[in-house]
Amino acid sequence: MTDVHRLITALLILLFSTCDSAQETPAEFLARFQREARPMHNKVAEANWALQTNITVENEEVFVKARLEYAKFSQMQERQALLYLQNTTINLTPDERRQLTKIADIGTSAQTDVVKLERFAKIKTNMDSIYSKAEVCVEENCLQLEPGLTELFRTSRDCERLSTAWQGWRDQSGRKIKDLYAEYVQLGNEAIQILGYKDMGEYWKSAYDTPTFEKDVAKLFEQILPLYKQLHAYVRRRLKAVYGAHIFPSSGHIPAHILGNMWSQSWNNVGNLIKPFKSKQSVDVTDEMKAQGYTPKSMFETAEAFFYSLGFANMTKTFWKKSMLEKPTDRNVVCHASAWDMEKEDDFRIKMCTRVNHEDLMTVHHEMGHVQYYMEYKDQPTVYQGGANPGFHEAVGDTIALSVQTPEHLKTLDLMHAENIYDEETDINYLMQMALDKLAFLPFGYLIDQWRWSVFRGTTKPESYNEAWWDLRCRLQGISPPVKRGPEDFDPGAKFHVPGDTPYIRYFVSFVIQFQFYKAACDAAGNTRPLHHCDFYNNPTAGHKLRSMLQLGSSKPWPDALEQITGQRQMDAQPLMEYFQPLLQFLEKENGNDYGWTENCPENPPPCSNTAQRWRVRYTTAFLVLFVSLKSTCFLVPRT
């Protein structure tokens, strides 16, 4: 807290203590906050929804205005809350102290300079707008990220085309955001320091209320790294057979553009290329979904049915009326999937440019998990209407999706028709497909905020933004850029959550604890199969286990919530390791000693085309043409 802020608070406390007739009790203040905060939250949410589902200058202005109004409201409530927290003559209950502390922690809304506050809000909306409107022209087609570029990376195996699209997206999004992002960091840090935090990174980490949080997640990462390295080695070898060894640097890295995803964050779209046992069925049910006529709405209905079978409520009428489940054709929208609590009666929504495929079916369950969390804690006080920690919110839907993706459940949905889903080779295929989603993501989920924390601390300057980014990606993920990158590039800005001001370590946390949640639900359901074959569909006992934790919201510290469902008070990667143990044994046997990569990025990324090979092909072709021509000429000469 700054000296000015302390002085204002001290004066207010003095005024507060000499005006007994005007005092509210803490309980009265909290009740009033509850009445006033929800309409304010709803106003901001409606303005943000309007902007993200219709990106216009007018909607940007309305949203910035709503944010500024909310910031002023938050500042007033923060000062009032501090009066109670710092007045030693008031005896607060533990619950009152917890609520008041949350009210006082208002983030960047603490900025009292209206000009700077407005500039900060405009920078964020401008970055969102640049990202959402970006287009890349590949050959004769100009594509936005959704669905065009996403589909290109999902289906294309043309190295040159993918490289062009990969670089083009970063030119049209990240590069244009870089200067704005540097200003965003400066203004954000300045605002958050008013509350006494060193920088934005420290503020973001405070959401986990664990002094050793950074060390804890580093320990989790080290726990899963050996398994990731084995997966990386197997995928690298299989992709070399597809693209040729010449595009792979000798450093052992995998070029970032050939993993089926714009950011190489999940690799499930190359599953058909690296499938261990080609003759056995895949667990990617995209083709079957399309053959059966699935639609975006029926995908959401499928997810709703799973939650309902566990004892959760169905989606509300407002959900079906106001959600955006498909990409509109008449306007620009933010396609990144998200769930929304509008903080008004039964108004919960999802915004998603849904495609009919296996990946999006799982994303639908993920987003509906957020909505179910909202609905379960809706009777908590407003300040407790959030996840026990940010990773909890992300883990709920994914816990359900772990059950949905089992061959057992896909057979229940009539989407998978394997005769023997317990066949060892089918089992490895299944675990490989899951690993390409879950394991492949973990280093990416870990490193984004490693980069941002260093930026917020000031140890990474704007001129070295990109160098620091690729240092982490090459060192921790074993991924390297397909083309040379320079200080003018800003590749972190090509990922939605960076310009979108969304902390990312929550996803790493969620990818670990979802396996803890999953194992707990499976145990509650009496599962006796290997963990990766557990389907707790239609089991209210498992559902009750989940719901009892969700109903707490953030009213208790997250270790209490974790203990409620798992019996443990610490995040632990052991259930994840148990889940993938059969795959680890397979990979170790397949890879032998061929795994790992050097820490440093390759200086000169190999090009897609092999020059020597290309000239050999040209000379061979020319020789064949000449040979055929001469032979034809011989046939035309009369014999003597």
Region 503-508 average pLDDT:
93
137 found inside a domain: no
Region 55-65 average pLDDT:
89
User: Which tokens go with 130?
Assistant: 């640049």
Q: How confident is the model at residue 68 (pLDDT cuts 50, 70, 90)?
A: confident
Q: At residue 581, does pLDDT exceed 80?
A: yes
Q: At residue 12, does pLDDT exceed 90?
A: no
Residues 107 and 236 grouped into a single domain: no
- Nearest by Cα to 146 from 350, 428, 368, 355: 355
Strand, helix or coil at 461?
A: coil
Residues 101 and 238 grouped into a single domain: no
- Going by C-beta distance under 8 Å and a sequence separation of 6 or more, which residues neighbour residue 528? none
DSSP state of 324: B
Strand, helix or coil at 561?
A: helix
pLDDT of res. 255: 96
pLDDT of res. 418: 64
Tally Cβ neighbours within 10 Å of residue 164.
20
Annotated binding-site residues read: 208, 366, 370, 394, 506
Based on the structure, what is the number of domains in the chain? 2
Q: How confident is the model at residue 638 (pLDDT cuts 50, 70, 90)?
A: very low
- Range with the lowest mean pLDDT among 77-81, 227-231, 278-282, 534-538? 278-282
Residues 109 and 240 grouped into a single domain: no
| Mean pLDDT over the full length of the chain | 87
- Going by C-beta distance under 8 Å and a sequence separation of 6 or more, which residues neighbour residue 285? 358, 361, 410, 415, 416
597 found inside a domain: yes
Residues 596 and 457 grouped into a single domain: yes
Q: How confident is the model at residue 342 (pLDDT cuts 50, 70, 90)?
A: very high
pLDDT of res. 23: 77
318 found inside a domain: no
Residues 459 and 567 grouped into a single domain: yes
271 found inside a domain: yes
Question: pLDDT tens digits, residue range 135-167?
Answer: 999 877 888 888 889 889 989 999 999 999 999
Q: At residue 230, does pLDDT exceed 80?
A: yes
201 found inside a domain: no
- Range with the lowest mean pLDDT among 68-72, 228-232, 557-561? 68-72
**Domain boundary pick from 171, 193, 215:** 193
The residue among 628 and 415 whose pLDDT is bigger is 415
Strand, helix or coil at 326?
A: coil
What's the rounded Cα separation, in Å, for the pair 307 and 369? 8
The residue among 311 and 614 whose pLDDT is bigger is 311
Region 424-453 average pLDDT:
93
Q: At residue 110, does pLDDT exceed 80?
A: no
Burial class (CB in 10 A: 0-12, 13-18, 19+), 475: middle
What's the rounded Cα separation, in Å, for the pair 194 and 209? 19
Distances (CA, A) of 460 to 193, 463, 465: 19, 8, 6
89 found inside a domain: yes
Residue 351 and residue 323 in contact, taking contact as beta carbons nearer than 8 Å: yes
Amino acid at residue number 150: T
pLDDT of res. 610: 60
What's the rounded Cα separation, in Å, for the pair 333 and 601? 35
Residues 582 and 437 grouped into a single domain: yes
Amino acid at residue number 5: H
Q: At residue 579, does pLDDT exceed 50?
A: yes
User: Which tokens go with 198?
Assistant: 């060193």
The residue among 2 and 329 whose pLDDT is bigger is 329
184 found inside a domain: no
Residues 123 and 228 grouped into a single domain: no
Region 564-585 average pLDDT:
93
What's the rounded Cα separation, in Å, for the pair 20 and 12? 13
Region 42-65 average pLDDT:
92
What's the rounded Cα separation, in Å, for the pair 204 and 190? 14
User: Which tokens go with 639?
Assistant: 């014999």
Annotated binding-site residues for Zn(2+) read: 366, 370, 394
Residues 424 and 299 grouped into a single domain: yes
Distances (CA, A) of 143 to 150, 195, 639: 9, 43, 61
Residues annotated as catalytic (active site), given as ranges: 367, 497
What is the tally of helices (H) and strands (E) in the chain? 25, 6
What's the rounded Cα separation, in Å, for the pair 491 and 497? 12
Q: At residue 318, does pLDDT exceed 90?
A: yes
pLDDT of res. 11: 46
User: Which tokens go with 193?
Assistant: 């320091």
Residues 120 and 228 grouped into a single domain: no
Q: At residue 474, does pLDDT exceed 70?
A: yes
506 found inside a domain: yes
Q: At residue 221, does pLDDT exceed 90?
A: yes
Annotated binding-site residues for chloride read: 208, 506
Q: Which domain holds residue 13?
A: 3-127+189-193
Residues 531 and 410 grouped into a single domain: yes
Judge if pTM exceeds 0.95: no
